[in-house]
Structure 1
């Protein structure tokens, strides 16, 4: 014998019921079946809502009940042949007339008790099961209807009654034995107490009914038919890549369902687990799908294939209560007193955690019950509070529980470290932790706003470890930004295959517009994202990144804006990695620079700015490696401006200085305002950053800057700047000719030695390492304690959108 249960979505309408009918026909050919059905989809909620309106003397309840009546009458017309509809239409009308009398009483009295709630909500399953049984009978199937309420006996705990299993099992078994019909249809959810009053088994009680019946008749199998392909590795509404679980143990299923896996009502497992009855969760709309098998004995191959964890589940609307005080230490009975007072108030404790110091006990309850619980605990410990042995209970709301569950977690070291590590890397703060000695469940309490992120992070870590999803937020789409986007699109497939990383551009902004897509901006969308974008502000961009709260997030600053770095601190505090091409932050006031580095460390995230110096050259990375290995940098000599190197390599008097600078700007070697390069400001910032990374607390004003530009060239707009360059052409020719007289060339250099730094034009002789430097190349010469005689040299292209973008790209990969 098998027991089949169909949920509300499976019997939502006539079309769905016909799908369920096909499943029932097929199963009944193989063995006798008992079919347990829920109310039609959303009926129970509507019955309750109507009663609440009635209790408030709001006549809206009348239209709600009328709509439900029409819904059931329409179902009769669709399921029952026309010539046989009359009696069933009368059947539906009679019971809705009964309901209207009850609702009228609620309206008059203004009272909606749990006892009345159970009475009215029992109509949903009663009607749906009766009509489905009638349909099967008129299809010629050997079917009989059983009223579960006549056989399942409970106490009088209305809305969540406790089953008397001894009487119930005897009643159900006798009915099944006495009636030889191949199909028995029964309503779920409903029962009666010893006085004949209607009771219900709690929300999800139809699953429980099916499990009770399966246990009573020692069924071969219990099948739960729903609208998903079985239990999932996570809630598919939160995790797009959630996968069906092929096989799972009773204990795993119980843990997952307890912490929010809605596909199965937790109490349903106990009756079948005791009798060792296999439980299958199947999809009514895809009956050929494997579904999930819940059993004691898992298939050996399935166990071997199973990952460390079986699934991640979550429960929202949680509150924490903490009772603490020095008077609790070493005093027996405190926990008993706490839990007894909650039990007397019928408050369910979801999670418990207590430190070995015994100084505090923290429990989690449903948020709806938190203030009731607070009052009960404070009342129970009133004398202790007055004597200051304990403090009044503290509450925290707006929380969720996330649980990692799996039999294979037992006796495995490193699971907690892996779990907490990936959460910490994504800035998810854990408020409480609980793990039983069974080791099959690690539960954490976090802020509810972090739930989606936490579940995705854990699911990716334990179920999708082959591909890491990274969300990029790009600020600035000029020359470098555009090249970076091209490189990301071109390289992403390689990264997925070889580095197991998938990059998504989840947000993009320029000075005017910003656009977001959690699923990633495609190449097609990128071509016209500005048209879809909304008005941009850098603070609005940051707020949107924080509010979306996506895992593995990286903010990328490829602007030269002084305002963009203002959001760095806030992003780092949310554990959002930052990759900056922009030099403003790292070259600003030393305390600001120091604070950003410290914030990144304290919040377990990355702040990379390799391209601040040398574009794509590994300059800052080299300093970091030297410092980590215990070396000390004693001096730095460098040509750090690809722009100035390009300019002085190409300026020989055959073309004006103005023309050479304009060409450098056109080819993307200069900042948007070339004066930042030509005044040496950019170079000064770079040597400042290198000195700081080498461990020296320099300020920008400490750097000596010998400018070669006449003061008049610095006034006005960029257009005026080019005009002035032309006026001072002789000045620039003299600079070049003076160097040439001595057989030397001009290089704009940066030097750091003895804790001091300076930048300016130098005459460089042919025997210098700086002499043979062509085009836009940069060179950095390090002398250290270890590289004292033969310096360490980093040399290569130090400007250009392509190489700068590749340097930013490399920082992105390092950050994840």
Structure 2
């Protein structure tokens, strides 16, 4: 004996019913089969709506009924040959006339009782099961249709009747013995009380009907046929990479279903679970798919977690007060107050101090729950022992489910860590002693991000998705995008990172695409983008709320740097090539560092000093490992090093500077390099990273430029350099005469910092620097006699982009 149940989508159209008939006929050839049928998709809701419209005195109920009748008649005509249609059409018409008569009475009385509504709702399953039976007859498949109301006995609690399983099991067993067939068709959802009045079994009623038949007959299996290929590791509408769960335990299936997986309704499968009857969830429209087998003890898999689920539309009620501590009965009174209002409690959590208790309820019940609890504790609230009930809405539950979690430590830590890294704040936590479920209450707007983050953490260890927003796509930004495009396959294969650029912006426009921009045509997409307004861009990033988000600033804009705080506060990591933030007021620098720590994200700016050289990272490693920095000496301007390495007194100094700008070594305004401002910013950042609270004004800057060179615009700057060519030649010749080289050096020691042009003797680490090279010398406790030297190219689009790239990977792997 086997039981097959078909849901509303499986019988919603004539073609779907024909598919059902094929499946049923094949099943009946193998084993005696009972088929339980739901109402056509949407019909139950339409019947309820018609009833309430009639009770409200609105004649629109007639139109609803006409639509229901038409839908069933059309399906009947498609399913049954013309010569056999009259009996089926007559039966459909009879049922529809009964529906209309009931609604007419409701309309006249202006009242819809629970008993009448049950009778009205029952027609959905009665009609659909009759159509399945008619199609079987048309295909000459022997069967017997029978009314479930003759077999399922309940109490008279209309709308959610309780089944008398002892009486029902006896009736079913007698029926099967007395009227043996190879195939039976019965309507789901409907039953009757002892007086024969129609009752319904509430949510999941057809599943329950099927489980009751399977349990009563000790069936070999129960199959639930629906429109999905079994249970999934997560909701595929939220998680594109969700995968089917081949086998799962009853307990796990019930946990997942309770927390939002709509395939099963937990209470309905109790009759088969208690007997260990295997339950298959199959797809009517893809019958060859494996589906999900729900069983007592499924084999172990490689995953500790079996699946993820969520419940939206949640409200959290919190009862707090010092008067609760040590006083028995508060919890009892809270739950009794909710029970009197027939409000179901979804989640419970209580502090160990007994100072507060929180419960989660459906948002639609929140107002009624608040009134009931405040009324119950009115006296305690009045005397100050308890606070008025605190209500929070726009919440959701995300649950991690798996029986195997209890055998592994650190699951909660991984869960909370993954959520915390992505800025998902947890409002409440509940974990049963069986450790099959860890539930967290979060903001409803964070559900998609949270589910994807957790699915990635527990099911996709080989593919962590990183979402980049890149602002500034000039020389360095364009090179970065080229490097990302070239390395995508490597990053996925070797590092398990799926790096997507979801937004790019230049000084005038921005474009965002949640599923990632194609890196071979981002320029065209940007050209069609929206006008850039930084608050709008930041709001758009927040609204998308993507996991593992990284904001990359490759500009020199103070306005863009001003956005960092708002991003860090939402746990969006910031990678800054822009030096403005870290070289502005110390309070700003310190606040950004603190925000990154507070919101468990990254604020990385390696390329602020030395382009792609690991200067800041090395300094941080020294300090974290307990070393102490005493002195830093550095050549930090690739531009100035390029200029002084190429200037020999024969070509004009201004011409060499123009060459440096043309080759992309200078800041957009080359005066920032030549007047020492850029180098001062860099040594300031290194001093701050060393623990010094310095401001830009504290940096002593000895400029080698005549004052007139700093007046006017950039072209005036070049003109004045030409005017002062003798000055620059004199500096060069004086150094050369001593066998020395000119280098613009930054120095930090004893809490003070300075920058300026120096002559460097042969043998010094700076003397042999070529082209655009930078060098940094760290003198520390460990490197007291011989400094730790970092040397290499300190300017250029490729190396700077590679430094930004490295910071992105650091943020991604955090």
Q: TM over 0.5, yes or no?
A: yes
Q: How far apart are residue 59 of structure 1 and its match? A: 4.1
The worse-fitting range, judged by mean Cα deviation, of 332-341 and 234-243 is 332-341
Instruction: Return the alpha-carbon distance in structure 1 between the equivalents of residues 259 and 404 of structure 2.
Output: 18
CA contact 1:411–1:439 (8 Å) conserved in 2: no
Instruction: Return the alpha-carbon distance in structure 2 between the equivalents of residues 91 and 725 of structure 1.
Output: 100
Partner of 1:84: 84
Partner of 1:330: 326
Q: How far apart are residue 439 of structure 1 and its match? A: 1.0
For 1:410, what is the secondary structure of its paired residue? helix
The worse-fitting range, judged by mean Cα deviation, of 195-204 and 109-118 is 109-118
CA contact 1:252–1:440 (8 Å) conserved in 2: yes
| Residue number among 578, 601, 607 corresponding to 2:603 in the alignment | 607
Q: How far apart are residue 268 of structure 1 and its match? A: 2.1
Deviations, residues 560-613 of structure 1 (Å, cap 9, x unaligned): 111111111111111111111110111110011001101111111111100000
Q: How far apart are residue 58 of structure 1 and its match? A: 4.2
Partner of 2:18: 18
**Structure-2 change in CA distance of 1:104 and 1:660 (3 Å):** farther
Q: How far apart are residue 57 of structure 1 and its match? A: 4.2
Partner of 2:780: 784
CA contact 1:5–1:206 (8 Å) conserved in 2: yes
Partner of 2:221: 221
Instruction: Return the alpha-carbon distance in structure 2 between the equivalents of residues 780 and 624 of structure 1.
Output: 14
Q: Structure 2 stretches of 5 or more lacking a match?
A: none
Partner of 2:195: 195
**Structure-2 change in CA distance of 1:65 and 1:524 (3 Å):** farther
Partner of 1:773: 769
For 1:286, what is the secondary structure of its paired residue? coil
Partner of 2:142: 142
| Residue number among 549, 555, 562 corresponding to 1:559 in the alignment | 555
Instruction: Return the alpha-carbon distance in structure 1 between the equivalents of residues 41 and 528 of structure 2.
Output: 38
4+ long deviations beyond 6 Å: none
Instruction: Return the alpha-carbon distance in structure 1 between the equivalents of residues 710 and 515 of structure 2.
Output: 46
For 2:455, what is the secondary structure of its paired residue? helix
**Structure-2 change in CA distance of 1:645 and 1:105 (3 Å):** farther
1:615-694 correspondence runs (5 A): 615-694=611-690
- Name the TM-score, length of structure 2 as normaliser: 0.97
Deviations, residues 176-225 of structure 1 (Å, cap 9, x unaligned): 22222211111111222333333222222211111111111211100001
Instruction: Return the alpha-carbon distance in structure 1 between the equivalents of residues 730 and 512 of structure 2.
Output: 53
**Structure-2 change in CA distance of 1:110 and 1:600 (3 Å):** farther
CA contact 2:481–2:519 (8 Å) conserved in 1: no
**Structure-2 change in CA distance of 1:58 and 1:737 (3 Å):** farther
Partner of 1:415: 411
Q: How far apart are residue 722 of structure 1 and its match? A: 3.0
**Structure-2 change in CA distance of 1:43 and 1:753 (3 Å):** same
Partner of 1:256: 256
**Structure-2 change in CA distance of 1:112 and 1:613 (3 Å):** farther
Residue 445, structure 1, aligned to residue 441, structure 2: yes
CA contact 1:229–1:244 (8 Å) conserved in 2: yes
Instruction: Return the alpha-carbon distance in structure 1 between the equivalents of residues 222 and 609 of structure 2.
Output: 67
Q: How far apart are residue 442 of structure 1 and its match? A: 0.9
Q: How far apart are residue 76 of structure 1 and its match? A: 0.8
Instruction: Return the alpha-carbon distance in structure 2 between the equivalents of residues 535 and 66 of structure 1.
Output: 52
Instruction: Return the alpha-carbon distance in structure 2 between the equivalents of residues 17 and 571 of structure 1.
Output: 53
CA contact 1:231–1:292 (8 Å) conserved in 2: yes
Instruction: Return the alpha-carbon distance in structure 2 between the equivalents of residues 72 and 333 of structure 1.
Output: 55
| Residue number among 459, 465, 468 corresponding to 1:463 in the alignment | 459
1:267-666 correspondence runs (5 A): 267-298=267-298, 302-303=299-300, 305-666=301-662
1:148-163 correspondence runs (5 A): 148-163=148-163
Deviations, residues 525-547 of structure 1 (Å, cap 9, x unaligned): 42522244222222222211111
Instruction: Return the alpha-carbon distance in structure 2 between the equivalents of residues 289 and 489 of structure 1.
Output: 36
Partner of 2:61: 61
**Structure-2 change in CA distance of 1:532 and 1:221 (3 Å):** farther
Deviations, residues 67-119 of structure 1 (Å, cap 9, x unaligned): 22221111011101111212322322232233233334444454444334323
- Name the TM-score, length of structure 1 as normaliser: 0.97
Root mean square deviation of aligned Cα:
1.7
For 1:709, what is the secondary structure of its paired residue? coil
Instruction: Return the alpha-carbon distance in structure 2 between the equivalents of residues 653 and 491 of structure 1.
Output: 43
Partner of 1:167: 167
Count the aligned residue pairs: 812
Q: How far apart are residue 320 of structure 1 and its match? A: 1.0
Partner of 2:231: 231
CA contact 2:10–2:284 (8 Å) conserved in 1: yes
Deviations, residues 605-644 of structure 1 (Å, cap 9, x unaligned): 1111000000011110111111111111111111100011
Instruction: Return the alpha-carbon distance in structure 2 between the equivalents of residues 170 and 430 of structure 1.
Output: 49
For 1:430, what is the secondary structure of its paired residue? coil
CA contact 1:751–1:758 (8 Å) conserved in 2: yes
Instruction: Return the alpha-carbon distance in structure 1 between the equivalents of residues 312 and 131 of structure 2.
Output: 36
Residue 717, structure 1, aligned to residue 713, structure 2: yes
Instruction: Return the alpha-carbon distance in structure 2 between the equivalents of residues 102 and 508 of structure 1.
Output: 62
For 1:154, what is the secondary structure of its paired residue? coil
For 1:762, what is the secondary structure of its paired residue? strand
Instruction: Return the alpha-carbon distance in structure 1 between the equivalents of residues 103 and 726 of structure 2.
Output: 99
**Structure-2 change in CA distance of 1:727 and 1:221 (3 Å):** same
Instruction: Return the alpha-carbon distance in structure 1 between the equivalents of residues 706 and 153 of structure 2.
Output: 98
Instruction: Return the alpha-carbon distance in structure 2 between the equivalents of residues 419 and 106 of structure 1.
Output: 53
CA contact 1:323–1:390 (8 Å) conserved in 2: yes
For 1:473, what is the secondary structure of its paired residue? strand
Instruction: Return the alpha-carbon distance in structure 1 between the equivalents of residues 113 and 545 of structure 2.
Output: 42
For 1:660, what is the secondary structure of its paired residue? helix
**Structure-2 change in CA distance of 1:536 and 1:379 (3 Å):** same
CA contact 2:259–2:310 (8 Å) conserved in 1: yes
